[in-house]
Amino acid sequence: MTKASATSKQTSLAQRNLGLGYSTPIIGAVVALLTGLVISDVTQTQLDNWVWVLIQLLLGAGMVLGTKFATAAFNFANSKGKKLGAIKGARNLNLILGIIWSAVVTIMAFTKGVDAVQKLVKWPTPVTYSPGGKEVVPKGPELLPFTAGQFVAEWLPAFALILIAVVGIYLLLAERARDTK
């Protein structure tokens, strides 16, 4: 293999990585959206907590792969002294999308956690009146028992979302900081 042929292959690979750097986050978002829509349509219900975990996992995978491809294209162009305009654009697109995704999944995780805690409390009904017109003051909130089913359906998805956020943020930063090989 000649040196020109090897350089041509490397350039072709860098161009492929640039295209994938732009398109992979979009493809991941489309796959996640379609997955949610199909599950919602098939079950004829609102999306379950575990479906949201799957959707966020697919979105995060798209962001990490996009960052990996964009960084590979950037490192190649940087090592060859080429112009970095479009390549920086792909890298910055993935950075911004990664920041937005990280914020959304973190907020979603804490919201699901707060919702899980709230489901442990049964709040009294508002003030009612007895048949004689006397006001009946309700008692305070009642704590409900913590069950294994509730743990799996409510608490575990919140923990999984936090784990996805932490691992996703780490992988996004690690891929973005990857050096030229």
Give the pLDDT confidence score for residue 127 in this predicted structure.
66
* CA-to-CA separations, 95 to 63, 70, 107, 177, in angstroms, rounded: 9, 10, 18, 11
The CA-CA-CA angle for residues 96, 114, 103, to 5°, reads 5
How is residue 91 written in tokens?
Answer: 């890298």
Question: What is the biggest distance separating any 2 CA atoms in the chain, rounded to whole angstroms?
Answer: 100
Mean pLDDT of residues grouped by 10 in the chain (181 residues)?
73 88 94 93 86 95 94 88 84 93 96 92 74 70 87 93 96 86 57
Give the pLDDT confidence score for residue 58 in this predicted structure.
96
Query: What is the DSSP secondary structure assignment for residue 106, as one 8-state letter?
Result: H
Task: List pLDDT tens digits, range 137-163.
Answer: 667 788 888 899 889 989 999 999 999
Give the pLDDT confidence score for residue 77 in this predicted structure.
87
Give the pLDDT confidence score for residue 61 in this predicted structure.
96
The predicted model scores a pTM of 0.83
